[in-house]
Structure 1
Amino acid sequence: QLFGDVPQIPDVSPEIMIPSDRIAKELCDFISSWCILFFTLFGVFLSLTLFYKRRLKTPFSVLNEAADKISRQDLDFKISYVYDDELGQICAAFEKMREKLAENNSSMWNMIDEQKQMRSAFSHDLRTPLAVMKGYVEYLLRYYPKHRLSEEKVIEVLGELQSQTERISCFAGTMKNINRLDEIIISRAYVSQADLLAKTEAILTVLAQKYAKQFEVHSELKEQQLNLDISIFLEVLENLIDNAMRFSVQCVRVEFRYSQSLLNVCVHDDGKGFQPDELSKAVKPYYHGESVGTEHYGMGLYICKMLCEKHGGFLRVYNSPGGGACVEFNIAA
């Protein structure tokens, strides 16, 4: 060794020590015997504390907060942890689970909204045919007992009632077999322009009596056959005429044109027209505007828009230059 042998400390008998030296010696013996264990335990505790604070506390807090938010159905957050260790893998798995839950939750709400739209569409589109049927029944009850209707007129009215009944039956069957509005299938057939105008005037007559309004029909159609789904066409037309009758002051005007394989129909009213903010919102689902009461679901123009697009056309709303609202739709025919 550098300094030679370390001299051995002589062992002094406790009997010859004074009390203070004896206590100091016993304390030194205790420390020399137990300090290794003490410092080992202290080092382990300090290491675990530092490891927990630096590597465990953050991911545990992140996971605990994420679990709490997920339990409250709050999925609008993101789990982020920078370390790519075992806890990082657990955090990444939690994030994938959160994304999947958010996706499933969104799909479920979309499905609920689509079912709500279907119920609203079914309720809304039954209203106008039923109003037409009610008008025909009232017409028969008012004039038939007084013998003021010819047999031909009675048969004509009964034929219209049968036609409306068949439409409701077909519509109910369609709603039963589809889950979304965009699943409606277009069934085209050739219809003469004369038949189309006759059905339009029949609808206008009944609704004009219901709302105590007047109507006009202007047609630029030639003698031709139109290839369209008459059920879809009447659904759109009845909705628009019913809306126009509700908001008009005295008269509703319907115009027909045909150009480049598109049947164009404009429904005008002489009311106060659309407000500026309504022009962009009117075709959105559940927008009520000035409609009041529970019978109007805010789905009419939205349904018409979807049906027109399904039929290869479009729908737009605007205010007429002379005043009043105008709803124009085009369908491929």
Structure 2
Amino acid sequence: MKLKTKLIVAFMSVMILPMIFMTVVMHTFAPREVGELQQLYMIVVFITTTMLIYWIYRSVSLPLAKLQKAARNIKEGNLDFEIRQESDDEIGQLCQDFEEMRLRLKANAEEKVAFDRENKELISNISHDLKTPITAIKGYVEGIMDGVADTPEKMDRYIKTIYNKANEMDLLINELTLYSKIDTNRIPYNFTTISAKDYFGDCGEDLHMELESKGVEFTYRNDMEEDCKVIVDPEQLRRVINNIVSNSLKYMDKPNGKVTMEVKDVGDFIQIELGDNGKGIAAKDLPYIFDRFYRTDASRNSSKGGSGIGLSIVKKIVEEHGGNIWATSEEGAGTTMYFVIRKYQEVSIDE
């Protein structure tokens, strides 16, 4: 019962109903009997008023006591409690609103704890992965300073190694900067309508040249029609493909590495498949490979390095294109990454 209704009932019980009762009594009973009935009436009114006041007080005071205790818990940072709505009046609705606020505060607090933990892990990972090339650069520079590189061939090899290690550091820093922009939704996407066949064909040519120089066999297939178009950010979507292929090369454990790329028409979507014949991913790890900071090799001594955010960046970019990404894998046989993006379809003015 609403609080307003309770007050109306109390008012009716204390004021209006007694007046009606007295009017009926005065017109029905003799004056002597009316006096006795008035005394009885005063007793009944007192008892009724007391019970009504207690009823209203109890319906207000108990929920307020719960809210006061809840507010004290929140002030002290304790959010592990529950406020139950035990009535459907205004106080009960206030309890429900208070409970929803508590749940939201708890969710925000848990999200902040998770965010802080992930940031600490990111800093730890990046620090470790930056330390490795920095140590190598210092070692080779000291070798040059001490005269260890005493031949042109050695000097050339030392300088190339220093250059490669500096590139590794640059890639890590760029990855961290990109992740920061993605995580705060500050990537300036430049979407444009382009031919799917031409765009992915260019990506395939670039991959062929890159992989050939690394001794990796590359196979490309594109079944798209010439007039099929997509709305994408060419630079960011190319980053998706490059990140996936780089990940394949990082975990390639066979002397004759193979990478495949296939573009398919799947109705309203275009599906891109990027496969390899690497060491594969364990079934227990497969559901988590797109999570931030997740690494299938938990050891920081792994020579593979990596901050653990490469595939999470890939997932974010694909989803920002309105698509989806997933993977299949078999240990010892290889991994295939799939992602889909929607085709561009012109809509008539009438539609």
In the superposition, the TM-score normalised over structure 2's length comes to 0.51
Query: Pairwise mapping of residues 1-333 of structure 1 onto structure 2 (< 5 A)?
Result: 36=39, 40=42, 43=44, 46-52=47-53, 54-70=55-71, 71=73, 72-74=78-80, 76-82=82-88, 88-124=89-125, 127-128=128-129, 130-131=131-132, 145=149, 147=151, 149=153, 152-174=156-178, 178=181, 180=183, 183=186, 192-193=206-207, 196-197=210-211, 201=214, 217-220=216-219, 244=251, 254-260=257-263, 262=272, 264-266=274-276, 268-269=278-279, 274-275=282-283, 277-281=284-288, 283-284=290-291, 291=298, 303-312=309-318, 314-320=325-331, 324=332, 326-329=334-337
Other-structure match for 1:205 = none
Over 3 Å counting, the alpha-carbon distance change for 1:266 and 1:165 in structure 2 is same
Over 3 Å counting, the alpha-carbon distance change for 1:232 and 1:129 in structure 2 is farther
Other-structure match for 2:22 = none
Shift of 1:286: 6.9
Whether the 8 Å contact between 1:319 and 1:325 is mirrored in structure 2 is: yes
Over 3 Å counting, the alpha-carbon distance change for 1:193 and 1:282 in structure 2 is closer
Q: Which amino acid aligns with 2:337?
A: F
Over 3 Å counting, the alpha-carbon distance change for 1:169 and 1:328 in structure 2 is same
Q: Describe the superposition over 1:72-120 as per-residue Cα deviations: whole angstroms up to 9, x where unpaired.
A: 42464442423xxxxx324423432442343344234334434543443
Q: Which amino acid aligns with 2:163?
A: G
Q: Distance in 2 between matches of 1:119 and 1:236?
A: 25
Over 3 Å counting, the alpha-carbon distance change for 1:93 and 1:159 in structure 2 is same
Shift of 1:257: 1.9
Q: Describe the superposition over 1:13-60 as per-residue Cα deviations: whole angstroms up to 9, x where unpaired.
A: xxxxxxxxxxxxxxxxxxx99x95x984x5465324422554432443
Whether the 8 Å contact between 1:115 and 1:180 is mirrored in structure 2 is: no
Q: Which amino acid aligns with 1:56?
A: Y
- Stretches of structure 2 lacking an aligned partner (at least 5 in a row): 1-29, 192-201, 222-233, 264-270, 319-323, 342-351
Whether the 8 Å contact between 2:218 and 2:258 is mirrored in structure 1 is: yes
Whether the 8 Å contact between 1:318 and 1:326 is mirrored in structure 2 is: yes
Shift of 1:164: 2.4
Whether the 8 Å contact between 1:316 and 1:327 is mirrored in structure 2 is: yes
Other-structure match for 1:10 = none
Q: Which amino acid aligns with 2:160?
A: E
Over 3 Å counting, the alpha-carbon distance change for 1:315 and 1:325 in structure 2 is farther
Q: Which amino acid aligns with 1:164?
A: E
Whether the 8 Å contact between 1:118 and 1:179 is mirrored in structure 2 is: no
- Secondary structure of 1:329's match? strand
The count of corresponding residues between Structure 1 and Structure 2 is 261
- Secondary structure of 1:318's match? strand
Q: Which amino acid aligns with 2:114?
A: D
- Stretches of structure 1 lacking an aligned partner (at least 5 in a row): 7-31, 83-87, 202-215
Shift of 1:157: 2.8
Over 3 Å counting, the alpha-carbon distance change for 1:285 and 1:181 in structure 2 is same
Q: Distance in 2 between matches of 1:252 and 1:49?
A: 92
RMSD of aligned residue pairs (Cα, Å): 5.2
- Secondary structure of 1:220's match? strand
Shift of 1:162: 3.2
- Secondary structure of 2:278's match? strand
Q: Distance in 1 between matches of 2:131 and 2:241?
A: 17
Q: Percent identity?
A: 8
Q: Which amino acid aligns with 1:314?
A: I
Shift of 1:256: 1.8
Q: Which amino acid aligns with 1:219?
A: F
Over 3 Å counting, the alpha-carbon distance change for 1:220 and 1:100 in structure 2 is same
Q: Name which one, 1 or 2, has greater alpha-carbon Rg.
A: 1
Q: Describe the superposition over 1:161-192 as per-residue Cα deviations: whole angstroms up to 9, x where unpaired.
A: 332233244345445x6482765567999893
- Secondary structure of 2:329's match? strand
Whether the 8 Å contact between 1:118 and 1:181 is mirrored in structure 2 is: no
Whether the 8 Å contact between 1:125 and 1:235 is mirrored in structure 2 is: no
Shift of 1:147: 4.1
- Secondary structure of 1:269's match? coil
